[in-house]
Amino acid sequence: MIPLVDVLLVIVIFLVVNTTFVQKSQLNVELPGTNSAQASTEKTPSLTIRVSQDGNFDFEGQLILGETALKQALSQAIQRLNTDKNQLRAIIEADASSTHQSVVSVMDVLADLGVAKVSIATSNP
């Protein structure tokens, strides 16, 4: 007969191994609102970059300071994805109070890396 403790231990190990941990962003971003937003149905790989109101960047749950560090992080992610850059898309989640320059900086970095499909995330009011 198998002791109950052994069975429970196996169940706990199974749950720990099969649990997916979500990386929560370090930036709190309030997206701008729009009435004409359409949800994307594309299934292509995407890069999500968040821009805070003070111009800081967040990518893959990591706070990134400066355009050079952002470019390096995005470049590494593109290499990891190992996909055609023409199929790759980027989503910019910029705070409604962030500067236009911060968003343009992200778009410039993406253009330098060859990512042509760029979307700006919004929320429905």
pLDDT of residue 72: 92
pLDDT digits (tens, 9 = 90+) for 36-72: 556 656 667 788 899 988 888 988 888 888 889 899 9
pLDDT digits (tens, 9 = 90+) for 103-113: 899 999 999 88
What percentage of the chain reaches a pLDDT higher than 90? Answer: 6
Residue 32: pLDDT over 80: no
Look up residue 61 and give its DSSP letter. Answer: T
Q: Helices then strands (H, E): number in the chain?
A: 3, 5
Task: Flag whether the pTM goes above 0.85.
Answer: no
Name, of 4-8, 40-44, 91-95, the range with top average pLDDT: 91-95
- Secondary element (H or E) of residue 117: strand 117-120
Q: What is the mean pLDDT of residues 72-83?
A: 87
Reference 117, options 42, 50, 64; nearest CA is 42
Residue 118: pLDDT over 60: yes
Mean pLDDT of the chain: 80
